[in-house]
Amino acid sequence: MNYYSLHHKSPNTTFKNAVVQGLAKDRGIYFPENITPLSKEFIENIENYTNHEIAYEAIKQFVGDEIPTSILKEIIEKTVSFDFPLVTIDENIASLELFHGPTMAFKDVGAKFMAQCLEYFNQGNEEEVTVLVATSGDTGGAVANGFLGAKGVNVVILYPSGKVSDIQEKQLTTLGQNITALEVDGVFDDCQEMVKTAFLDEEITKKLTSANSINIARWLPQMFYFFFAYKALKSKNKELVFSVPSGNFGNICAGIMAQKLGLPIKHFVAATNVNDTVPNFLVDGVYTPKPSKATISNAMDVGNPSNFIRIRELFNNDLETLKSAFSSYSFTDDETRETMKKIYDNSGYVADPHGAVGYLGLKKYGLKENEFGVFLETAHPVKFLDVVEETLPVKVEIPEQIQKVINNKKVAIKASSYKDLKAYLMK
């Protein structure tokens, strides 16, 4: 499969190049040349397929013949190695829990898939690839874990000192091997700026790539969640509405891709916190990116969502068609906290702040008689322990995955400016 740059100023390229480069030379993100719907027969009989088979069917056309079938199947087995349970909250609403992976963030799936693809493509090359990633919390842990031990791949994670939770810090600083953590004296934006500077620095001769959701290998496997949920809910015979707590809009964009592949989904709701660039766009068709604002659902504090351009492409850049299948609503921290309480009081379910924003999206949309709503629960409550325990009368149990890293020793290199990152990369 070939991919084109959404800035339309770079030549089309292969799956392999798109994965290895991350971004096109014209700084545009990549989009597949073709999207061919899966057979009706497959969708109608989806309950007869295993999750591994479904994931393979969903992704195979996007990889094409660039990874042999047997290896792609192995990659999928390593990626889809945990459950994605649906928990019913109300009569017509369920939570799709995406947090049962190794770092308890939904980004585990994309990170693992991308790591495996990169390892495959770099096989036999003398030169190692260096993955540079800036994180405000969740991405770093998922990337560290997903890439751990990948041969020929080095990972450098930049995180803002004192601005990620203790658990998140342990997840990205204790693994060792091919994972290096740089503890940056600054905020997330400083980390991101350092990464961008490194990509443009011609004195750095190392092969660099990025591991955020602009990379097609991190973005596309997120389609799997929607197929798995459809399989589980098909027998209800209801029309499905998905609400996705959104920051960079990679996850929801993958859902729309699944719909393009023929999955019967009635409507999508992109639920955001007060970082409301997309909800505003839907009102007047003017896209105005803004600096991000800090909220309690901080994995979605994004003022200029990088995947939204892919969503517009999926609807041929037509606002009216987009609006018929897609809504987007913004919610405040107060509304989020109130909703966490309401969900807990009504059902005993402990939602993290991101999941609660997703739930609010369904409420605002207003489900009809024949519709069933699914919100994506993107993080385990333990990842946002402070907010959850302040808001709800609960004590969150620390799951085994987290227990394992919590007592390990943090190892990080201090960095106060780009000079320090450069010195590390030039070593």
Binding footprint of ligand PLP on the chain (CB under 6 A): 105, 107, 138, 213, 245-251, 299-300, 354, 378-379
Euclidean distance between CA atoms 384 and 297, whole angstroms:
8
Pick the closer one to ligand PLP by CB: 378 or 401: 378
Nearest approach, Cβ of 201 to ligand PLP (angstroms)? 26
Pick the closer one to ligand PLP by CB: 73 or 163: 163
Q: Is residue 272 within 8 Å of residue 246, measured between CB atoms? A: yes
* Owner of token pair 């004296």: 185
Distance of CA 408 to the CA centre of its chain: 26
User: Does the annotation mark 107 as catalytic?
Assistant: yes
Nearest approach, Cβ of 3 to ligand PLP (angstroms)? 19
Pick the closer one to ligand PLP by CB: 152 or 381: 381
Nearest approach, Cβ of 91 to ligand PLP (angstroms)? 25
Euclidean distance between CA atoms 308 and 47, whole angstroms:
31
Cα(first)–Cα(last) distance of the chain, in Å?
Answer: 36
Nearest approach, Cβ of 81 to ligand PLP (angstroms)? 19
Pick the closer one to ligand PLP by CB: 44 or 83: 83
Active-site position among 40, 60, 107, 290: 107
Pick the closer one to ligand PLP by CB: 32 or 250: 250
Phi, psi (rounded to 5 degrees) for 151: -70, 140
Pick the closer one to ligand PLP by CB: 138 or 169: 138
Nearest approach, Cβ of 260 to ligand PLP (angstroms)? 17
- Written as six digits, the tokens of 203 are 């004195």
On the CB side of 80, how many CA atoms lie within 13 Å of its CA?
23
Nearest approach, Cβ of 298 to ligand PLP (angstroms)? 9
Active centre residues (catalytic): 107
